[in-house]
Amino acid sequence: MPSYTIEELIQLKPSETLSVNFDAVEFNAIIEKVKQVQALKEEEYNATHHGHFNRRRSSHLHHGKPKVKQHKPKVTTDENGWSTFEPKTNEEGDSENNSDSATTPFTPTISKETVKVKPNNRHISSSRPADNSDIITDKQVHGFNTFAALVSDDEDDE
């Protein structure tokens, strides 16, 4: 069995380039073309990702929390330069009922806050609300009325 050491084989290396029995030009051309395609793809990738290689995909699409816009309180300025703050009223004539609020039961009111929600189609089949109107309907508007609770307790005790 013929065997050659690494050193022996290196000694047998010809100093001039020999011809081969396959199309070396074509082989080299294929490799060069692959390198060009890879370079183009990398350039494209860098352009689209702006150099952020290690940024992971976000687990949400940035509408986790609906935007709630609070209306600004109305302030009017008279001729003398005095500004008057007008507290917001829930309903017309609400101020009249304030005097006997202790005796009348608590009535639920609809908030005038603007709730801006983008429906998320990913959760359309889940229990999460997908429609703006659903969110408003589901919004809890009943507050705990301490006075009403005390009254009912007294009645029970009797």
- 132, two tokens: 């703006």
Report in angstroms how near the CB of residue 14 gets to other proteins at its nearest.
5
What amino acid occupies position 69? K
The contact mask relative to other proteins for 11-30 (x = CB under 8 A, - = no) is -xxxxxxxxxxx-x--xx-x
Report in angstroms how near the CB of residue 31 gets to other proteins at its nearest.
6
127 binds other proteins (CB under 8 A): no
Contacts of residue 86, defined as CB under 8 A and 6 or more positions apart, other chains included, come to: 73, 74, 75, 76
* Nearer residue to other proteins within complex by CB, 39 or 110: 39
Contacts of residue 141, defined as CB under 8 A and 6 or more positions apart, other chains included, come to: 108, 109, 110, 111
Q: How many Cα atoms within 13 Å fall on the side-chain side of residue 50?
A: 1
54 binds other proteins (CB under 8 A): no
Residue 110, phi then psi, degrees to nearest 5 = -95, 125
Within residues 30-49, the interface with other proteins by CB under 8 A covers 30-31, 34-35, 37-38
124 binds other proteins (CB under 8 A): no
* Nearer residue to other proteins within complex by CB, 9 or 102: 9
Cα–Cα separations (whole angstroms), residue 50 to 3, 37, 41, 74: 55, 20, 14, 46
102 binds other proteins (CB under 8 A): no
* Nearer residue to other proteins within complex by CB, 40 or 149: 40
Residues of this chain that interact with other proteins (CB under 8 A) are 1-6, 8-10, 12-22, 24, 27-28, 30-31, 34-35, 37-38
